[in-house]
Amino acid sequence: MANLIDGKAVSAKVKAEVRDEAAKLKEQGISIGLAVVIVGNNPASRVYVNSKKKACEEVGFNSYEYALDENITQQELLDLIDVLNNDDKVNGILVQLPLPKHIDENAIINAISPDKDVDAFHPYNVGKIMIGEFSFLPCTPAGVMELIDSTGVNISGKSAVVIGRSNIVGKPMSMLLLHRNATVTICHSRTTNLLEICNAADIIVAAVGKANFVTGDMVKEGAIVIDVGINRLENGKLCGDVDFEAVSKKAGYITPVPGGVGPMTIAMLMKNTLTAAKLKANIK
């Protein structure tokens, strides 16, 4: 039976470290602020935004929420971002996605100052991740790396499979594993020999958005399996991209859903915001 990787415990450790550093900065007169922009009334987005506000309170950050009408124009949103880019109280800017269809998400992401891009979605920061000279890491992949590290297993030399090629998780995830000297294979909907590839993997990161997609026969004995997916079944229950019951009988380590990757994403957002504040104050 697999060892359970407790995302709540690992995220609490990360947030405690952030809180301690933030308290030391406060003693030097440096306050940290995160601006969160939400457009419209998407219930899932509201849950995420509330979680981020709560996390800010936990670590001692100032939280600034901008809840905008779903009919706001793209230019009005760009104008707000410009204001936040120039606001010294704001160290990080997060625009909650998805945005309404009449707003170009890329235009909004590109408008955020790279120095305040705590989601690490701006092309400038994405490029820095590619060459390994990054200041910020995308929150979910960074959280996954913390979870893998919590097992004590050395990533270097391991065979890692990332299932999913999104700009938010799959692609940056593969780069972070590569920077740690894993041999990385990216799989996706057109991959023809997925079973064979996964069976050879020491580490599997599932980020495909399909319930119970990774089955027991895809996982070799003792592998680390990280489940990024979160799907709601017809009965209302949440499940991941991994068939937890079957895979946990073979894996060495596995994350649950919920309580695995989810808490880490917000913890790493706090860490990125702290990093932004330190960079601005020229503190290493």
Packing angle between helix 7-27 and helix 43-59, nearest 10 degrees? 50
Name the active-site residue from 115, 117, 119, 227: 119
Name the active-site residue from 15, 96, 227, 278: 96
Which tokens is 232 given? Answer: 């709601």
Please give the full DSSP string across 224-259, using - where no structure is assigned.
Answer: EEEE---EE-TTS-EE-SB-HHHHTTT-SEE--SSS
128 is catalytic: no
Residue 204: which of 154, 263, 255, 246 has the closest Cα? Answer: 255
Residue 255: which of 266, 269, 244 has the closest Cα? Answer: 244
243 is catalytic: no
| Ramachandran area for residue 156 (φ above 0: left; ψ -120 to 50: alpha; else beta) | beta
117 is catalytic: no
Count of beta carbons in the 10 Å neighbourhood of residue 37: 22
CB 135 within 8 A of CB 279: yes
CA distances from 134 to 32, 131, 138, 193 (A): 20, 8, 10, 33
Q: What is the spatial distance between Cα 163 and Cα 165, in angstroms, rounded to a whole number?
A: 7
Positions marked active-site: 52, 96, 119
